[in-house]
A and B are shown apart, each in its own frame.
Chain A
Amino acid sequence: MLNLWMRASAWICLAVVILLLGFLVQQSWPYWQQYGFSTLFSGDWYPYEKLFGLTAAIIGSFWAALIALSIAIPTGLAAAVMSTEILSGSWRSLSRTGMELLAGIPSVVYGLLGLWVLLPLLQSSLGLLTGHNLLAAGLLLSVMVLPTIMVMAQDALSEISSEQRDAAASLGMGWSERLWRVLLPQAWPGIRSGILLALGRALGETMAVMLVVGSMDRIPEPFYNLLAPAQTLTSRIGREIGESAFGSMHFAALMACGLLLATVTITISLLAHLRADNTSVART
């Protein structure tokens, strides 16, 4: 009985993985067959004219994740350093609780905050016609991935033994020297895993991005223009899946977006878990 239950569970896990990937490939196959991989470099996405180029969404996803990480990495690392190296015990656990709180806010609520707080702010401060743009998506994502980076970095820093710290101190290293030469290098594997997980999360996040990004299928013009409405892979899927007929080329193209996204995030996640400790991974 026990044996049956255990083996059935393991088989279910295997079946889930195979079915998931299998159906993604199978349903997007007509798209790859007809358009091929060259569509990765074509910017035109007009479903009614049978043009399905992915570049605009890929660039959008890339920029949103890049903005998010370039804000969240320094802030999150500094917060982790501050809470483990500067703050005392009770403040440390308070900051930890705060991060858990931030991590617990559902993404659609972040979308609501972005739509009704961040967008009006951006609109008035930058004098834009509409606040819907990649910058807003990136800013919102940076808040959402901050807990991942901070918690993983905090765990990695607090695992460094006190002997290491004492040894560094007895060598006469100053605070910042100790941080750069001893603590951060020691904690790097954990920090790197946190950054990779955050990257995966930023690429895969849907609801918040969908509400603020503007959903316009245009390649930013010029390519660093982050203040115009744009599109990411996830927001395209979320916006258009409801109106595409099952089995049509439009549907296959959206599946191709999903497959592309899943391939990238799976790679990132496996890289992150390669040397990461299981316990911290299960918590994120």
Chain B
Amino acid sequence: MNERHAKTLTMMLALPALLLPAVCLLYILFKGIPALDWAMLFGSAQGASFGSVTALWPQITGSLLLMLGACVLAAPVAFGGALFYALAASHRQQKVLLGMMHLLVGIPPIVYGLCGLIVLVHLLHWGISLLTGMVILAVIILPMLLLNSVNAINRIAVGRTEAAHALGLSNGEIIRRVWLPAAWPALLTGLLLGMARALSETAPVLFTATVFSGVAWPDSVFSPVTSLQTHIFYLAQEGANAQAVDIAWASAVVLVLLVTVLSFSASALRKIRVH
């Protein structure tokens, strides 16, 4: 096989992969944008019949609440765990911690949903609720946040930390004066990616945190919410109702835009170098 043939073959094999992102995105926009307008996003959620409620803001707030709750719960544990890894853990503890995180990364989201259903919904009697969804999503993003923080701390030059130690700084001061200024873009990148992940997970909240309709703003953390992800799932199956499918496409556009904004700000942040 000569060189030119090999290159042509590679390009032909690669072409679908390189074109797919654009095709998928354009198709989603093409289907969703016509159905999307101001009234649809922020209109009244009252008075419409089941399955054809046209306002999306309850779903958007539900998704955002789940996402924010998950981050607020997961971030302190993840950062604390990473600091434990960097400051206090023995070599063996470090290996165990990383091993556990890799184990958690491997578990499919729906299994987290199952465990949340047993422990939170049934055993703790939280019911199908916002808090249940937040905790489940927090556990799902915990390993990626923790691994990311560990990497962020590891990338700080050893000399700096040693110099800070030599100057007599305490651990707390080293974190605040040396590590945070150097590592904040990386930490924030991880957090943004975690938010994007929490926003796009559907299966684990489907039967633990969300209902199809009827909730505009949850009364407390113990009441269920509606979310964009599950809204798309329910409406996609309404084959007989063309309007429902249109709304599903519109919701998909909103969801994809939210996730894309988060992940693109993450990759923009990644390029920042702090000196």
Subset of 23 A-B contacts with CB under 8 Å: A2-B83, A8-B80, A12-B81, A13-B81, A17-B103, A19-B115, A20-B115, A23-B119, A75-B14, A79-B13, A82-B10, A99-B17, A104-B196, A109-B255, A211-B237, A234-B110, A241-B207, A266-B103, A269-B105, A273-B105, A278-B151, A278-B154, A282-B190
Instruction: Report which of B6, B77, B98, B147 forms a contact with A12, defined as CB distance below 8 A.
Output: B77
A128 within 8 A of B: no
Q: Does A262 contact B (CB under 8 A)?
A: yes
- Contacting pair A20 B112 (CB below 8 A): yes
Task: State the CA gap A270–B11 with chains docked (Å).
Answer: 33
Contact with B along A152-182 (1 / 0, CB 8 A): 0000000000000000000000111001000
By the criterion CB–CB under 8 Å, are A99 and B236 in contact? no
Q: A75-B13, A175-B3, A241-B114 given as contacts; is B24 within 8 A of A266 (CB)?
A: no
Interface segment, A33-41, A45-53, A110-118, A218-226?
A: A110-118
Interface: A129 (CB within 8 A): no
0/1 string, B1-38, CB within 8 A of A gives 1: 11100110011011011101110110110000000000
Any chain B CB within 8 A of the CB of A279? yes
Contact B229 A104 (CB under 8 A): no
What CA separation (Å) do A269 and B105 show in the bound complex? Answer: 7
A115 partner residues in chain B, CB cutoff 8 A: 236-237
Q: How many pairs, one residue from A and one from B, have CB atoms within 8 Å of each other in the complex? A: 261
A residues engaging B (CB < 8 A)?
Answer: 1-3, 5-10, 12-14, 16-17, 19-20, 23-24, 27, 74-76, 78-79, 81-83, 86, 95, 97-109, 111-113, 115-117, 143, 146, 150, 174-176, 179, 200, 203-207, 210-211, 234, 237-238, 241-242, 246, 254-255, 258, 261-262, 265-270, 273, 278-279, 281-283
Pairwise interchain contact A262-B142, C-beta atoms closer than 8 A: no
B28–A109 touching, CB < 8 Å: yes
**Contact string against A for B residues 227-265, beta-carbon threshold 8 Å, 1 for contact and 0 otherwise:** 001101100110000000100110010011001100110
| Contact across chains for A108 and B17 when beta carbons are under 8 A apart | no
Residue B144 lies at the interface, judged by CB distance under 8 Å to chain A: yes
User: In the complex, what residue of chain A is closest to B117 when comparing beta carbons?
Assistant: A241
> Given A237-B114, A242-B207, A282-B151, do A17 and B237 touch, yes or no (CB 8 Å)?
no
A17: contacting residue among B104, B148, B263, CB under 8 A: B104
Given A8-B80, A75-B16, A278-B147 in contact, is the A206-B119 Cβ separation under 8 Å? no
Q: Tell which of B3, B93, B142, B151 touches A176, judged by Cβ atoms closer than 8 Å.
A: B3
B40 within 8 A of A: no
Q: Are A109 and B232 in contact (CB under 8 A)?
A: yes
Which A residues are in CB contact (< 8 Å) with B156? none
- A12→B100 CA distance, assembly (Å): 12
Query: Would A270 and B267 count as touching, CB distance under 8 A?
Result: no
A59 to B7, CA, bound (A): 37
Instruction: Determine whether the beta carbon of A104 is less than 8 Å from that of B14.
Output: no
Which one of B80, B99, B260, B263 lies within 8 Å of A6 (CB-CB)? B80
The residue in chain B whose Cβ has the minimal distance to the Cβ of A280 is B151
Closest Cβ of chain A: how far from B18's Cβ, in Å?
6
Distance, CA A265 to CA B110, complexed state (A) = 12
Q: Which residues of A contact B2 (CB under 8 A)?
A: 174
Given contacts A105-B259, A108-B233, A241-B117, contact A265 B108 (CB under 8 A): yes
**Out of A20, A98, A117, A246, which one reaches B22, CB within 8 Å?**
A98
> Taking the complex as formed, is B122 at the interface, i.e. its CB lies under 8 A from any CB of chain A?
yes
Within 8 A of A (CB), among B157-208: 171-172, 175, 190, 193, 196, 199-203, 206-207
CA distance A232 to B263 in the complex (A): 30
Whether, in the assembled complex, B39 has its beta carbon less than 8 Å from a beta carbon of chain A, the answer is no
Q: Are B229 and A106 in contact (CB under 8 A)?
A: yes
A89 to chain B, nearest CB (A): 14
Q: Which 8 pairs show the lowest CB-CB distances between chains A and B?
A: A269-B106, A204-B108, A9-B80, A106-B200, A78-B13, A176-B6, A98-B21, A79-B17
CB distance from A147 to the nearest CB of B (A): 9
Given contacts A23-B115, A176-B1, contact A78 B14 (CB under 8 A): yes
Q: Could you tell me the distance in whole angstroms from the C-beta of A267 to the nearest C-beta in chain B?
A: 8
Contacts of A10 in B (CB 8 A): 80-81, 84, 89, 93, 97
What residues of chain B lie closer than 8 Å to A19, measured between beta carbons?
115, 119
- Please, which residue of chain A has its CB at the minimum distance from the CB of B252? A109
B27, A117: Cβ atoms closer than 8 Å: yes
Known contacts A16-B104, A265-B106, A9 near B84 by CB under 8 Å: yes
Contact B233 A111, beta carbon cutoff 8 Å: yes
Q: Is B87 an interface residue (CB 8 A)?
A: yes
Asked if residues B245 and A23 are in contact (CB atoms below 8 Å), the reply is: no
Which residues of chain B from 99 to 142 have a CB within 8 Å of any chain A CB?
Answer: 99-115, 117-119, 122, 139, 142
Nearest residue, chain B, Cβ from A273: B102
